[in-house]
Amino acid sequence: MGTRAFRRHQCLVDSSDFVEFHERGTRHRMGCAGIMSSGLLLLTLVLTVYGAAGTRNKSSSPALAEALVEKDSEIIDCHLKPEDQRSMVIFLSSFLEGTAQSTFFSMVRKLPAAKSRSVSDLKVLLIEDPGLLKSSFWNSEDPNFHQEDGLTYRKLPKSSIKVEQVKEWTRGFQGMDGGWSYDNTRDVGLGGIFDQSAFTYISIFDACASEEQAQALFELQSQGILPTVPMSIHSTNPCIKRFEKMLDEVSIVFANGGNPDILGYVFQKFAPQLGKMISSRVRSGRLLYLGRSAGSMAASIDYAYTYEPNPLLEEVLLQGDTSGLALAGSCAIRPHYGNLLWNIPTRVLQKARGQVGILTENGEGLACDQGHCFMVGKNSREGFDIFSQPTSHLPRVFEAYKFAYKKYVPPRPNLVSTCRPAAPQCGHSGLTEQSMLMLASSNFEDPDAKDAFQSLLDLQSKQHRSKVLVLDDAAFLTSAFWDERNPAFSRADGVNYLNAGLKTSQKLVREATGGFEGMDAGWIQCTECKLGLPGFPAEVFSHASAFDRCATDEQKKALFQLQSQGIAPKVQMGSLAHPECLQELEQLLEESSVLLVNSGNVDFLGYVYKVLVPDFTEKLTNRVKDGSLIFLGSGAGAILAGETFALTAAPRVELLQMLLMGDMQGLGLAGHCALRPHWSNKTRLWDITSSLYANAVGGIDIVGLQDGDVLTCSHGRCEIRGRTQKRGATTLDCADQPGFHRGRIDNAMASSFG
């Protein structure tokens, strides 16, 4: 997530969550600034209500506590089962803040042990297995070993695993996880209620594993050596009884942050008896479960939502099973949600697995309190979700993932040893030596982009053609293209059905859509209306739409009803009633030396030129390949020119399913390259998805284009020109390193769609 605002949390998180990205493949780690502000005002209010010693104030009531906890909290339906109706759990991303503190105290008061003693006399068991594979947990030379608020092996009582052994097994702590573990006794949300004597630290693996098992774990993590001993404990292991006794003496279990795979392995595979002990006590209402980051993930329904752990843990120890304790019904936590990096993967995974993914920002958490689940924290809200907006459609992205993973089998081990080249790798027969293309994220206005266009013009043979043909089909489903009430309709630099000279009746569109309902948002820029193109004045631009010219009124009505209401077409949509309609369009193409394919809806654009008028498309692609036609694409037009137009969330999925029959193959004019426009190095919305898709499909390079940049191709190769002259930064396109393992999330996706 990598912003300075969250620096204080680095000690808790999986190692990739606090890094700054300067350029693609360049990562700079940030230190932890220590404990964060404590929300003392809220804690003071709670203690005032209940009394500092844990005795409820006589003037208070359960209703007052409920109101304090749930006021303005977002309610989450986790599909709790009957056995969950007495459970009390809080899954945090980072610290116990805001309403999470008051919720915690309210839950503590409901514990049976709180009926007979002061709250401050209750005991807390701190489970530290998530930090066991961190370098800073063992290595005194690691800069994070001496963090004031950190946790190391020295705080584990009678640790059976010796630091000298770990150093030997890992060849000097090589291949260990990054980051550092936080000492939860220093969290004021706990420390403000309990003194140090209330806490007991434990690592279940440390307490129960044999020396051979411990060696196998660290050698697997560090060197990739497969275990040769059984990696679970026997039912007669004496540590089971010891752990049961510890659970009988505590009222709260707090699982720390770090590596969710090692904690999930401990709970479900290594010592499943102990995981069941925790679950049964939580579900009986006797034990409160508190988790932070990895501790939250492993106790939710699934901890697949990560790329931080070494994939070997999931492949070897977990055997691909990332099922958690499911203490919050069907909810799965994705912690440290600071930008949009995890938005698409989380929603895709939850849909594929039938779960409820929770986008949890730092300072927030999910609480389930005796049958009711809700967000708690500073804002008590889930993080922003693009799919909550009408402009983004999860089913459309889901189809792209289904296609990518339908035949894909991940390698074993799924490790990455090389970085993707920084320069676009577009070479392919579809990109000839004569081909000339310029594909833009947004527009062609940047001075360097204009220089690049002029270079293409200089390469083109001097001939009589001097016109620009603009294809506006992608705009056809945009509200601002048709609806005069839309403020963008009358933009001086925008395209609408009037200035594009379309023949389709606005009345037909209005009636078919019930007043332009369900149309695409946004507006389409008119290139010649603003700065134009070098050497081409506005009067040489001709606008046209193949669908406008060739589709029957019945086909048009069917299209708009499909877009607006999801009604399946009852007329043939895959052929032309009158093929001669293309003659005028072909003449315009013949007279043009530049073709501009505008932005808008790429699925509809693909349908028109791949399904409806393929013969016309063959003519234009042949001219691009022989160098007589320069292809310019903006937005959707740029995507269509690439290898695939799979990576989009904008169109309704019905267009892909009913008009394209699932075909997302692009025109291939840019060779092996596919474009993902409007790339943001800040939000990183398409970051993980682009890496996973390219890896699963193979033989494709997905180029993230930032606004103001263009991909320009000539002489059989492509480069990025424009504002930044760099492809968008990505997280998982380099070799594995601590906290960055594409194979881990790749395995999760493959198992979800396999």
Tell which residue, 732, 712, 730, has the closest CA to residue 722.
Answer: 712
Q: What is the 3-state secondary structure (H, E, C) of 693-722?
A: HHHHHCCCEEEEEECCEEEEEECCEEEEEE
- Decide if pLDDT at 291 tops 60: yes
pLDDT at residue 33 above 80? no
Average pLDDT in the chain: 90
**R_g of the chain, CA atoms, integer Å:** 29
- CA 597/CA 605 separation, integer angstroms: 9
Q: Is the pLDDT of residue 338 over 90?
A: yes
pLDDT value of residue 551: 97
Segment 568-608, tens digit of pLDDT:
999 999 989 888 999 999 999 999 999 999 999 999 999 99
Task: Grade residue 430 by pLDDT with cuts at 50, 70 and 90.
Answer: confident
Q: What pLDDT sits at residue 24?
A: 31
Question: 3-class secondary structure for 264-287?
Answer: HHHHHHHCHHHHHHHHHHHHCCCC
pLDDT bracket for residue 462 (50, 70, 90): low
pLDDT value, residue 463: 61
- Tell me if 330 sits within 8 A of 78, measured CB to CB: yes
Percent of the chain with pLDDT over 70: 90
Strand locations in 82-241, DSSP E?
88-92, 124-127, 150-151, 181-182, 199-202
Residues of the chain above pLDDT 90, percent: 85
| Contact assessment for residue 8 and residue 32, using Cβ atoms and an 8 Å cutoff | yes
pLDDT tens figures, 624-641: 999 999 999 999 999 999
Where does residue 607 rank: exposed (0-12), middle (13-18), buried (19+ CB within 10 A)? buried
Residue 523 neighbours by CB distance under 10 Å: 22
Kindly indicate the confidence band of residue 464, based on its pLDDT and cuts at 50, 70 and 90.
low
Between 138 and 24, where is the model more confident? 138
Taking only the tens place, the pLDDT of each residue in 175-195 is 999 999 999 998 877 867 898
Q: Which residues are CB-neighbours of 583 under 8 A, at least 6 positions away?
A: none
The pLDDT, as a whole number, for residue 14 is 37
**What was the pLDDT predicted at 61?**
37
Q: What is the pLDDT of residue 235?
A: 93
Question: Which are the contacts of 466, defined by CB distance < 8 A and separation ≥ 6?
Answer: 536, 540, 593
Check residue 8 and give its pLDDT.
31
Q: How far is CA 108 from CA 56, 112, 620, in A?
A: 12, 9, 70
Q: Look-up: residue for tokens 């705080």?
A: 155
Give pLDDT, residue 43. 41
pLDDT higher than 90, residue 403: yes
pLDDT band at 60 (very low <50, low <70, confident <90, very high): very low
Rounded to two decimals, the pTM is 0.90
Q: What is the pLDDT of residue 460?
A: 87
Distance separating alpha carbons of residues 310 and 416, to the nearest angstrom: 11
d(CA 441, CA 638): 7
**pLDDT tens-digit profile of 259-290?**
999 999 999 999 999 999 999 999 999 999 99
